[in-house]
Amino acid sequence: MKLSVIIPAFDEAAILPRSLRALPPKAEVIVVDGQSRDNTPEIARQGGARVIRGKRGRGAQMNLGGKHSSGDVLLFLHADCVLGPNAGPSIEAALGGHGTVGGSFRLHIDHPRWTYRLVAFGSNFRARFFGLPYGDQAIFVRRSDFDAIGGYPESPLMEDVVLVRRLRKRGKLAAIKETVTTGTRHWQHLGPLLTTLLNWVTVALFFVGVPPKRLAPWYQRLRKGKSDAIPEPYLATTEE
C-alpha cells in the first residue's frame, strides 16, 4: 500500500506542525494551500510536505491534492487533526477486508470536559453504526474508488457527507479503532452541544433537499457569527 495524505489548509501555520509530525513515516504528504495569508506553505515544506496552491474551498483543495498524489490509498486529513501512531498499519488492515472501499478513524477531542467526550462518542457511534463519518474523522479511500465517484463535490458545505454516501454505494466503510485527535475550535462559538445540534439540523436539511449553497451562509453565520463558507475566487493552481 502506498499512502498519500492530503491536507487542505488555509492560514494553518500555528497548528500544522503538530499534524505533520504525527503522519505515517513513509506516506506521501501533500498540503493544498487555499491562498493562505500567513506562512502556511513554508511551514508545510519545512515539515516535509509537498505544497500545491489552489482556490480556497475544502472539496476543491482535496480534489486537487488527489489529482497530484501518487498513492493507491488517499487519506484526507484536516489541518487541526493529529493521527494516532498506528495509522498506516490500521488503514492497511481495514482495507484488507472484503468489499471495503475506505473508512475513518475514531475521533478524540483534546479536552477533558464531559460534553466533548459526549460529542466524540456520538461521532464514533454515527460512523460505526450508520456509516456516516465526517471529515474530522480522517476519511481514507482507495484511489480507484475515489476516482470512480468523481472525488469530492466542490461545494461550500457537505462535501464529506456527499463523498461518504457515494462511497457506500460501492462498498463498505470501516470505522477503525485507531484515533484521530482534534482540537476544540470547531465548537468554540456555540459550545459543543449547540454546535452538534446545528450540525444535525444542517445535515437533516441537506437530506431533505436544501442545497449546500443555501445552507452554507446560514450555517457559518450561526457557527462562527459570520458567513465565510463560500470559497474565494480562483486565483491560481501552482505547485511550489
How does pLDDT run across 16-73, given as a tens digit for each residue?
999 999 999 999 999 999 999 999 999 999 999 999 999 899 999 999 999 999 999 9
3-state helix, strand, coil in the chain (%, to 5): 40, 20, 35
> What's the CA gap between 51 and 66, in Å, rounded?
13
pLDDT of residue 156: 87
Residue ranges and CATH numbers for the domains of the chain are 3-185 (3.90.550.10)
How does pLDDT run across 209-239, given as a tens digit for each residue?
999 889 988 888 888 765 443 333 323 333 3
Grid coordinates 474565494 are at which residue? Answer: 232
Q: Which residues pair with 165 in a beta bridge?
A: none
How does pLDDT run across 98-123, given as a tens digit for each residue?
899 999 999 999 999 999 999 999 99
- pTM here? 0.90
